[in-house]
Structure 1
Amino acid sequence: MSDGTFRGFGPKAMPFFKALDFHQSREWFWENRALYDSDLYEPFCDLVETLTQRFAAAGLGLRGDRKKSMFRINRDVRFAKDKRPYNRHLSAILSPDGTKMEQGVFYVHIGLERCFAGVAWWSPQPALLLAIRRAIETKPEKFRAMVKALARNGLALDTDGCMKRTPRGFEHVAQADLVAAIRNRHFVVRHTIDPAIIHGPALVDELVDFTIRARPLLDWGRAIEGKPAKD
């Protein structure tokens, strides 16, 4: 039985994803469930627990639960044209309260196509998104200081998915960097994980280092929300 310490994903983690992607069969999955548990699911749960401890020690205000933080490998196919029953990845969120409902989160994704981590304010509710945009408009010096701090740490805000037009009420904003930021639907920094590193405990150090480097984004968003980091 696991003691909750992450030691790495099993050697057959990626081969499992490849085989699952080929078969996409519930029968095949359940025949190979033991391998899924031993090489993917249980190590991922251990990763969540280990990161929770390390994030607490670093004062990052992010935590998770080995069950509640995990996303299911099963796909919701009710309204999808693609009826394949399984994802090609596993992922989890660590958040200020340990649920998937808050903003300012850490996300980690281990998959067949790519492995990466992110720190994000992802699709904020309209009131929070408006508050973020107002903060960019009215306190540009704080936004720019955050962006510069990220840059010093080797990170940059992701611009994928931004709006093509400036949202209503912000048409008067003229500075190009502020306009680009206000058009964002998400505020995210990402870190690419080399799949070769996922099989050992060094992955934890890499993810903690990334999240510490992403802290300027966390602190900036939390100040807007009025929610300081929780111990």
Structure 2
Amino acid sequence: MSFAGFPDEGLVFYEGLEADNSKTYWTRHRQTYDSCVRVPMQALVDELAPEFGGAKLFRPYRDVRFSHDKTPYKTHQGAVVTPEGRGAGAWYVQVSADGLMVSGGCWRLESDQVARYRRAVADDVQGGRLRAEVDRLASAGWDIEGERLIRVPSGFDVDADRTDLLRHKSLHATRRWEPADWLHDQRARDEVRAAWRELTALNAWFADNVGATTKEPRARR
């Protein structure tokens, strides 16, 4: 199936889910979710795969085991592309009642990855490379987000350049669009492709300097 946009019915579906996040609502509107949200999202990432790689679509169900919020369903559909063998740096796309969102970078880093990230930021060459890329994206209207410390981590000069980058424990750039007519046709694919291309250098920095974690996966209980 070729991508033809996200039907308005999909956004309306999420408006309803935000108001009634229940199994009853989900069961009644499951066909709308499948045909107007999940199928178009799969078609979108399939068409982008030759350039960026295969994507993983996230499940619509929330993990409520350790959350105070027990609502069972996510109010958005996301998909992520994590290039094999690069370890860090990914592309993300999401559709919801709020419209379209794209993002790139890293959302969660293990302790060994955080250590490598900080060493790279402190390095004049690699830190300068990230500084320039973050500044470029911010100037182009991207939001620079991610978990960060209140203070600069110990062992680093608090007066040094790039202290804002040193405080990050994860870093990603995000752009959001409110619902618009182009979201319902192939222009949505073109916007995502163009946005992901803008994030290529940021993802390359993470792949070059952070890479995959070397920590053993936690044993399941």
- Normalised by the length of structure 2, the TM-score is 0.84
CA contact (8 A) 1:155 1:189 kept: no
Distance in 2 of aligned mates of 1:189 and 1:102: 18
Deviation at 1:47, TM superposition (A): 1.2
Instruction: Please tell me the residue identity of whatever aligns with 2:118.
Output: R
Give the Cα separation in 2 of the matches to 1:106 and 1:75.
Answer: 21
Matches within 5 A, 1:27-46: 27-46=24-43
Structure 2: runs of 5+ lacking an equivalent: 213-221
Measured in 2, the distance between the counterparts of 1:163 and 1:64 equals: 33
Task: Report the Cα offset of residue 156 of structure 1.
Answer: 5.5
Q: 1:136, 1:143 within 8 Å by CA — same for their partners in 2?
A: yes
The Cα RMSD (Å) is 2.4
| Separation in structure 2 between the aligned mates of residue 166 and residue 52 of structure 1, nearest angstrom | 38
Query: Cα deviations across residues 49-83 of structure 1 (Å, max 9, x unaligned)?
Result: 11212xx2xxxxx3224xxx111111122222222
In structure 1, C-alpha distance between the alignment counterparts of 2:101 and 2:166, rounded to whole Å: 25
Answer yes or no: is 1:169 the counterpart of 2:155.
yes
1:16-64 CA-partner distances (Å, limit 9, x unpaired): 11122222221221222111111111111111111212xx2xxxxx322
Kindly indicate whether residue 215 of structure 2 is the aligned counterpart of residue 215 of structure 1: no
Partner AA of 2:144 in structure 1 = D
Task: Identify the match of residue 175 of structure 2 among 182, 191, 206.
Answer: 191
Helix, strand or coil for the counterpart of 1:158?
A: strand
Inter-CA distance 223–155: structure 2 relative to 1 (3 Å threshold): farther
Alignment of 1:8-157 (within 5 A): 8-53=5-50, 56=51, 62-65=52-55, 69-97=56-84, 102-113=87-98, 115-138=100-123, 140-152=124-136, 154=140
Separation in 1 of the partners of 2:211 and 2:127?
Answer: 16
Work out the CA distance in 1 between the residues paired with 2:191 and 2:134.
16
Q: 1:88 to 1:63 in 2, by over 3 A?
A: same
SS at match of 2:207: helix
Distance change >3 Å, CA 226–CA 125, structure 1 → 2? closer
Q: Structure 2: which amino acid aligns with 1:184?
A: H
CA drift of 1:93 comes to 0.5
Change (3 A) 1:102 1:220: closer
TM superposition shift of 1:117: 0.7
Alignment check: 8 A CA contact 1:150 1:216 kept: no
**SS of residue in 1 equivalent to 2:8:** coil
Q: Which runs of 4+ in 1 moved over 6 A?
A: none
Q: Structure 1: how far apart are the matches of 2:16 and 2:142? A: 35
- Is 2:171 aligned against 1:201? no
Give unmatched runs, 5+ long, in structure 1. 57-61
Deviations, residues 106-147 of structure 1 (Å, cap 9, x unaligned):
011111245311001222111111111101112x23332343
Measure the CA separation in 1 of the matches of 2:66 and 2:207. 35
Q: Distance in 2 between matches of 1:14 and 1:156?
A: 23
Q: Cα–Cα, structure 1 residues 10 and 113, in superposed 2: closer, same or farther, change >3 Å? A: closer
Q: For this pair of structures, how many residues does the alignment match? A: 209
Query: Match for 2:151: what amino acid?
Result: R
2:216 matched to which residue of 1? none
Q: Which has the higher contact order (CA 8 A, sep 6+)?
A: 2
**Identity of matched residues, %:** 25
